[in-house]
Amino acid sequence: MQITKILSFSSRLLKYSLATLLGAVIFWSAMAGLPFEAIAQNQVETFQENSLPTLPNSSTTEVPQKVTSQQRNSSFVTDAVNRVGTAVVRIDTERTITRNVDPFFDDPFFRRFFGEDFAMPRGPQQGLMRGQGSGFIIDKNGVILTNAHVVDQADKVTVTLKDGRTFAGKVQGVDEVTDLAVVKIDPKGKVLPVAPLGDSSTVQVGDWAIAVGNPLGLDNTVTLGIVSTLKRPSVEVGVPDKRLDFIQTDAAINPGNSGGPLLNSSGEVIGINTAIRAGAMGIGFAIPIDKAKQISSQLAQGKTVAHPYIGIQMVTLTPQLAKENNSDPNSPLTIPEISGVLVMGILPNTPAAQSGLRRGDVIVEIDGQPVTNATALQNVVESSQVGQTLQLVIRRGEQTQKLSIRTAQLT
């Protein structure tokens, strides 16, 4: 009887313990906001993980995809360069130059010292000058864009692709005013990579800028930066003989980068790397690709690009600058204290010389458009046609006058 009571008590105690445990589980699952089934399932999964491994069932379990190291490390720079990199080329040039022997070696004193039989070459001597730059293919037929100064007066041009293929290049056209040139290669039926061209008019300050080229002979070099500013006049860059508004970037551009592409984050060409400023760190300049689009077809056909000009040397004038000039007792002339474009000089045998413009005149209007700086005046002239007559309004001393000037082709 005693044994039966003990077993009955133990049975009730076991049931009570199980009920208590079940209630605790339900309570804590409710507190955690989880259904009881989830708790039970988690317990089962935990048990399975701590026991022998089981093979996943492909019908019910999603197998994670393997991520390659290339996918894991890829960036927008990598994607951009992969899109364009094969279309970037190295351009090697050779040019024969003639040099005269230094007259010092023909001096009688020199000959007395070394003897008359001293072997010294007579007459002009020829030498070979080599250069290197970059470029990029814009057409599957082998049309390449680069800088004019890269192929300037070259007798031989060799184009090397990233995959090692080399081609003889022919300079189709050069425009020194915009520092652009087109080189043509014969693909001989082979497929050529082509760089996608972007829209430089949509570029904004702060956008990513990726420079690709062959600086200092180091092929396939990529540098990264941002667009520092837009429409930087060539005069401010230090190349007043050019007519360009550059894209300024802090992406490293070194000798040999010239002619290579400047890319946006999508891998589209937005500019052509063309200049670095001497003595500056982290400042480079590129020709907007839209400018190249305008004249590349003309250059590819060997045509001359029209560049109207009037033939003046000019600076931007402000009332403050004029006042400082007029207060200087040594100033050669007195100028109106206004905003405009001051004529500093007139080039001989130019449209300006024939129009009656004088040094010291201040141009305040051209073809009905007010002008307050030299860049604005230059842009109006550049956008006109060769042989077009432009109407000027000038201030000469205290008088306002109107002049007509007919543009000519810049040579």
Among candidate residues 333, 342, 339, the one with its CA nearest the CA of residue 313: 342
Q: Annotated catalytic residue: which of 179, 245, 296, 361?
A: 179
Residue 238 sits at φ, ψ, to 5 deg, of: 105, 15
Q: Annotated catalytic residue: which of 29, 149, 250, 367?
A: 149
Q: Which H or E run includes 287?
A: strand 284-288
Instruction: Note whether 154 and 94 are within 8 A (CB).
Output: yes
Known catalytic residue: 258?
yes
Instruction: Note whether 257 and 215 are within 8 A (CB).
Output: yes
Among candidate residues 223, 247, 227, 233, the one with its CA nearest the CA of residue 134: 223
Instruction: Note whether 148 and 259 are within 8 A (CB).
Output: no
Region of 279 on the Ramachandran plot (φ > 0 left; ψ -120 to 50 alpha; else beta)? left
Task: Output the six-digit token pair for 259.
Answer: 């002619």
Q: Annotated catalytic residue: which of 134, 200, 258, 384?
A: 258
- DSSP code string of 146-175: EEGGGSTT-SEEEEE-TTS-EEEEEEEEEE
Strand pairing report for 125-139 and 166-175: unpaired
Pairwise CA distance, residues 208 & 196, whole Å: 17
Known catalytic residue: 149?
yes
Q: Which residues pair with 89 in a beta bridge?
A: 135
- Say how many Å lie between the first and final Cα of the chain, rounded: 128
Pairwise CA distance, residues 182 & 144, whole Å: 6
SS3 category, 356: coil
Burial class (CB in 10 A: 0-12, 13-18, 19+), 1: exposed
SS3 category, 344: strand
Residues annotated as catalytic (active site), given as ranges:
149, 179, 258
